[in-house]
Amino acid sequence: MLISGVDDGFFPLSYKGRRGKAPLIVTLYEDLYFKDVKIDFITVDGDDGTEVFERISWGVTTIFDGITYAGFNYIVPRRNYILFYGGKPNLQKVELALEKHFHDRRKEIILNFIKNLVRIETRNGPVYIESDLELRYAKGIIERYQLVSKYPEPIRLAHVIGRTVGHWHSRC
């Protein structure tokens, strides 16, 4: 079974408001073995996340580390996806930030996904997901890849790679 994981990376606060780019990382696992990684960049607080993701995606079942990346850029998953949150997002704070800084359709898109999160109990503790997969199947995938923490390995490794690439990129 092929599974991919998506996360972003570090960016300096000076990049907020579309003044820079942050890495978008997509890892690929075959069963429990890391196979490959793709890296591209998305605009901080931009709206190019979905387009860039679709360009570097493998088209397999994907675990996303949330819906927002690089500030309030976002990815709209199309199929075979699990949006993963290690803790429940504060809906009011997210809504206030979106209202304050953005006047486009991203508020509706982001809040729609967050409002549909479901709490599930895993062997490593409770997590929140939104998925187009059957809930039991999505939980099985998450638990299979929870090797060292509550975060499934495909997004944990994407986070580690993203942080490193982001720090390197900000110094170039």
Indicate the helix (H) or strand (E) that contains 18.
none
Question: Which residue range(s) make up the domain with 93?
Answer: 2-171
CB 102 within 8 A of CB 74: no
What is the number of structural domains in the chain? Answer: 1
Residue 148 belongs to domain with CATH number:
3.30.2170.10
pTM over 0.85: yes
CA distance 52 to 145: 25
Strand partners, 65: none
CA distance 77 to 53: 9
Please write the tens of the pLDDT for every residue from 88-143.
Answer: 999 999 999 999 999 899 999 999 999 999 999 999 999 999 999 999 999 999 99
**For residue range 26-80, what is the model confidence (pLDDT) as tens digits?**
999 999 999 999 999 999 999 999 999 999 999 999 999 999 999 999 999 999 9
